[in-house]
Amino acid sequence: GQQVMQIPQYQHVQEGEDFTTYCNSSTTLSNIQWYKQRPGGHPVFLIQLVKSGEVKKQKRLTFQFGEAKKNSSLHITATQTTDVGTYFCAGLHRGSQGNLIFGKGTKLSVKP
Amino acid sequence: DAGVIQSPRHEVTEMGQEVTLRCKPISGHNSLFWYRQTMMRGLELLIYFNNNVPIDDSGMPEDRFSAKMPNASFSTLKIQPSEPRDSAVYFCASSFSTLGTSGYEQYFGPGTRLTVT
């Protein structure tokens, strides 16, 4: 079936270091969304990318959508302890009925 | 402005018992999703409703699981009989979207943590 692969599964960084998580789909996506889930919380929408090659920024977070619309990345510059949580990508496959396919997430821990 | 409301927040039950989870989506949203989250399997879509109609229930594990959406403001997920392997956090999410078009962001409820002993 349709899958969205996300790596790495875990990432431990020192506060101030950068962090990147990658998302790959075997099929072309209509769009991709990113969510953040704090420990003990629920996923919260961060952003949606729709266009091929699109790049969006939110303060220290940079989101990219690949030219082929099969991969995406989230990069955090100079991590802070408030960035701790699990980051999920979720893809909407072309021809799907509207349900997102979530990656398994990257769990980020930040050492102060 | 109330978000997605789920109840109960925690449920502990014995194997074989019936469990009913409830969800009230955000007013005006026309799509509702039930997810299950575990460490091993991550976030799995169980079922997706659009305009109260089940669109994709391929993620429902087996006949022990059933979901209903009798109206636009209420949905239930029922497990009967429950088993220890059903222990997980169950999330309900809602959005406003049109079938087959680019998706819109999903708003998740706080989840129900289910423990089956």
Q: Report chain A (112 residues): mean pLDDT per 10 consecutive residues.
A: 89 97 94 95 95 96 97 98 97 78 95 94
Contact (CB<8Å) B105/A48: yes
State the burial class of residue A26 (Cβ atoms within 10 Å of its Cβ: 0-12, 13-18, 19+): exposed
CB B92 within 8 A of CB B114: no
Q: Chain A to chain B, count of Cβ pairs less than 8 Å apart? A: 66
Q: How many CA atoms lie within 13 A of B59 on its CB side?
A: 24
Q: Is the dihedral of CA A29, A67, A8, A25 positive or negative?
A: positive
Distance (Å) of CA B22 to CA A24, A25, B86, B93: 33, 32, 16, 12
Contact (CB<8Å) B33/A43: no
Contact (CB<8Å) A30/B56: no
Q: How many CA atoms lie within 13 A of B5 on its CB side?
A: 7
Could you report the per-residue pLDDT of B4-37, keeping only the tens digit for each? 999 999 999 999 999 999 999 999 999 999 999 9
Q: Which two tokens stand for residue A83?
A: 């960035």
Q: How many residues does chain A have?
A: 112
Q: Which two tokens stand for residue A34?
A: 């990113």
- ω into B25 cis (within 30 of 0): no
CB A1 within 8 A of CB A96: no
Q: H-helix or E-strand containing A33?
A: strand A29-37
Determine the Cα–Cα distance for residues B33 and B77; give it in Å rounded to an integer.
11
For chain B positions 56-85, those within 8 Å of chain A (CB to CB) are: 56
A-chain CB neighbours of B101 within 8 Å are 98
State the burial class of residue A106 (Cβ atoms within 10 Å of its Cβ: 0-12, 13-18, 19+): buried
Could you report the per-residue pLDDT of B33-76, keeping only the tens digit for each? 999 999 888 899 999 999 999 988 888 988 999 999 999 999 99
Does any CB of chain A come closer than 8 Å to the CB of residue B101? yes
